[in-house]
Amino acid sequence: MADAFELVALALPGEVAPESLPTTIRQFVSDCWPGMRRGQLVARARRLALRPL
């Protein structure tokens, strides 16, 4: 049986300002929402030419 993953939270460490992130990463974070499935997360990353592990 396959494992199911669910995005619970997406956060930066306290010492990292959101403005310091590259534009692509800021767009990726804004495209995500709590509860999205791994496949949705990977699809959004690929659409922005990110390479999820």
Instruction: Tell me the pLDDT tens digit for each residue of 5-40.
Output: 666 777 788 898 888 989 998 898 888 888 888 889
Tell me, yes or no, whether 1 lies in a domain.
no
Per-residue pLDDT, 7: 63
Local confidence band at 1 (pLDDT 50, 70, 90 cut-offs): low
Tell me, yes or no, whether 16 lies in a domain.
no
Q: Average the pLDDT over 37-47 and give the result.
A: 88
CA 6/CA 36 separation, integer angstroms: 6
Expressed as residue numbers, the domain containing 34 is 22-47
Per-residue pLDDT, 53: 60
Tell me, yes or no, whether 41 lies in a domain.
yes
Tell me, yes or no, whether 10 lies in a domain.
no
Tell me, yes or no, whether 42 lies in a domain.
yes
Per-residue pLDDT, 51: 77
Per-residue pLDDT, 2: 60
Tell me, yes or no, whether 43 lies in a domain.
yes
Q: What's the number of domains the chain is made of?
A: 1
